[in-house]
Amino acid sequence: MGLTRVNLLAGLIGAYIIRHPEIEAPLGLPSGNGYDRPLIIFDRNFRTDGSLYMNFTGNNPTIHPQWRPEYFGDAIIVNGKAWPRMNVRRRKYRFRIINASNARFFKFFFMNGLTFIHVGSDSVYLERPVTLKEILLGPSEIADVIVDFSESKSHSAILANGAPYPYPSGDPVNEANSKVMKFIIKYQREVDTWPFPNKLIKYPSPDLSNASVTRYIAMFEYTSNINEPTHLYLNGKSYNEPATETPKVGTTEVWDVINLTGDNHPLHIHVGLFVVLDQTELVDIEAFKDCMTKMNDAIKCQISKYARGKKVQVLAHEKGWKNVYKMTPGYVTKILVRFSYIHSNASYVFDATKEPGYVYHCHILDHEDNVMIRPLKFIN
């Protein structure tokens, strides 16, 4: 607690791929010979001697001497290298793109117009592939994509970034952090034998009628007298306060996540996968925020009176099961959370009720550390 942002900033980041050959082999996705690669992408700042740089003075040094609301770096790192190049052939490649930044969102796109064939999010496949021109990933989100370099009319392709920071209303990208990596594409054309699947994996559909509990999860931000953020809370509570989210193992719940801040917060629920049902804008949000700040009770503050603005459509490639999702500021995001295995609806084979339990939190690491994180305790 409090050190996650520093530990990952220092480089304690990695990835491994768990494969299920019997299920995945029939899909015919690119594999072997370097055609299936993780791209672990994050941002860093460096001193002139090449060492990592982090500003050790906080925004409110008299209150919290070291904490800053978000860490952003101008150098974009991919698999340990700054702005790397990768030689590719004119064929399909599979990339598992992981946003491993502390706080930066990435809006990925190819400057020469290449597209992404999106086949999976986080740890779950889509039912059908979705073709996209750009992909927005919050910290810790994963996009499993196929890129067909035979479609390129040029011999190089730059993977770029267009997300402002903080997201969504922060500074626009600059020359440095708008570029991610460059692909050098071989001149020679070749026959690509990898098929393009029309169907992937269909999991049991989420059943709203089976939801046993509806919970309201409010995201708060607190500021100093100079209007600088000091800390963030979920449901107005610190991490050290007793757990209030105590789901029963094997059940399904509805969570209405109320974002009362100006930032987009990628929510992560440990050992729980969820489906986003809808996002509804809060009208007259300042009045609702005032009530929530005083009472911290969505029902008593008549959330139904305020959650009646415009709806944000869940994008096709994000309609499946997720374990991280972006909570739009000023909106209520309704999610259906499953505390069991989604492929079979069977309960866990391990004892989830054992201490010390689990957590749910914002995956902006600087927010998680101070202190947008709450305990999650399971019961039988």
Q: How many CA atoms lie within 13 A of 334 on its CB side?
A: 18
Q: Looking at the domain assignment, is residue 196 inside a domain?
A: no
Query: Do 175 and 215 belong together in one domain?
Result: no
Q: How far apart are CA 233 and CA 221, in angstroms?
A: 7
Give the per-residue pLDDT at 297. 97
Q: Looking at the domain assignment, is residue 200 inside a domain?
A: no
Query: Do 33 and 158 belong together in one domain?
Result: yes
Q: Which amino acid is at 113?
A: G
CA angle 370/38/267 to nearest 5° reads: 30
Give the per-residue pLDDT at 196. 80
Q: What is the mean pLDDT of each run of 10 residues along the chain (380 residues)?
A: 91 87 90 93 96 92 92 96 97 97 98 97 93 98 97 96 97 96 91 84 86 96 94 97 96 97 97 95 97 97 97 94 96 96 87 96 97 96
Q: How far apart are CA 146 and CA 30, in angstroms?
A: 8
Q: How far apart are CA 118 and CA 322, in angstroms?
A: 14
> How many domains does the chain divide into?
2
Q: How far apart are CA 106 and CA 135, in angstroms?
A: 8
Q: How far apart are CA 118 and CA 22, in angstroms?
A: 21
Q: Which residue, 139, 157, 189, sits at the end of a domain?
A: 189
Q: Which residues pair with 143 in a beta bridge?
A: 97, 121
Give the per-residue pLDDT at 222. 96
Q: Looking at the domain assignment, is residue 343 inside a domain?
A: yes
Q: Are the C-beta atoms of residues 30 and 92 closer than 8 Å to each other?
A: yes
Q: How far apart are CA 168 and CA 22, in angstroms?
A: 41
DSSP calls for 1-58: ---HHHHHHTT---------HHHHGGG----STT-EEEEEEEEE-B-TTS-B----S-
Give the per-residue pLDDT at 342. 87
Q: Looking at the domain assignment, is residue 74 inside a domain?
A: yes
Domain that holds residue 302: 208-376
CA angle 21/324/221 to nearest 5° reads: 165
Query: Do 174 and 277 belong together in one domain?
Result: no
DSSP calls for 48-112: TTS-B----S-SBTTTBSS--S----SEEEETTEES-EEEEEESEEEEEEEE--SS--EEEEETT
What CATH number did the domain enclosing 8 receive?
2.60.40.420
Q: How far apart are CA 255 and CA 218, in angstroms?
A: 10
Both tokens assigned to 197:
């699947």
Q: Are the C-beta atoms of residues 259 and 329 closer than 8 Å to each other?
A: yes
Give the per-residue pLDDT at 11. 85
Q: Looking at the domain assignment, is residue 199 inside a domain?
A: no
Query: Do 232 and 358 belong together in one domain?
Result: yes
Q: Are the C-beta atoms of residues 77 and 41 closer than 8 Å to each other?
A: yes
Q: Looking at the domain assignment, is residue 285 inside a domain?
A: yes
Query: Do 213 and 185 belong together in one domain?
Result: no
Both tokens assigned to 145:
């994509």
Q: Looking at the domain assignment, is residue 248 inside a domain?
A: yes
Sheet of strand 373-376, all strands in order from the earlier edge strand to the far edge: 324-327, 265-269, 358-362, 373-376
Query: Do 217 and 134 belong together in one domain?
Result: no
Q: Where are the alpha helices (DSSP H) in the chain?
A: 4-9, 21-24, 285-295, 303-306, 365-368
- Other Cβ atoms closer than 10 A to 263: 24
Give the per-residue pLDDT at 195. 80
Phi, psi of 307 (to 5 degrees): -85, 70
Q: Looking at the domain assignment, is residue 197 inside a domain?
A: no
Give the per-residue pLDDT at 162. 98
